[in-house]
């Protein structure tokens, strides 16, 4: 009998929710559009609570360190079903990477050398 080789299924790697949200928000930024959590949920098909969590993650340095701007939506722009309380809208901005000053060379603290033990 011959040996059958197992084929490793190489599926298409799914995009992470954070990446999808980042792309949508940056595209909206190019159009100078502010989006509410409800509008983002309709565009991405993710729940609003999850989108809110991903916006928090996008602020972290390891996920891009984006600036998430937030403002209350004005009364004239309120959509049907969102007419209670304050409705917040969001916009994502790329971080400004400035030049950081170099640390001056400081003398390193040295530990006392280990003494050789003599018998």
Give the pLDDT score at 97: 73
Helical axes 37-44 vs 17-30, angle rounded to 10° = 120
Give the pLDDT score at 85: 78
Residue numbers of the domain that contains 39: 17-93
Query: What CATH number should be reported for the domain holding residue 49?
Result: 1.10.10.10
Strand order in the sheet with 35-36: 35-36, 88-93, 67-72
Position 119 pLDDT exceeds 90: no
Whole-angstrom Cα distance, residue 4 to residue 35?
A: 53
Q: What is the pTM of this model?
A: 0.64
pLDDT tens, 57-116?
999 999 999 999 999 988 665 555 555 678 899 999 998 776 555 556 656 666 665 555
Total domains in the chain come to 1
């Amino acid at each position: 009998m011959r040996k059958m080789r197992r084929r490793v299924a190489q599926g298409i790697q799914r995009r992470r929710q954070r990446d999808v949200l980042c792309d949508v928000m940056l595209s909206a930024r190019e159009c100078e559009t502010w989006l509410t959590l409800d509008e983002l949920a309709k565009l991405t098909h993710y729940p609003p609570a999850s989108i809110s969590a991903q916006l928090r993650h996008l602020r972290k340095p390891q996920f891009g360190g984006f600036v998430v701007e937030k403002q209350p939506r004005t009364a004239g722009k309120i959509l049907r079903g969102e007419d209670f309380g304050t409705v917040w809208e969001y916009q994502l901005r790329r971080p400004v990477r400035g030049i950081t000053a170099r640390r001056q060379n400081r003398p390193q603290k040295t530990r006392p050398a280990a003494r050789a033990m003599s018998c």
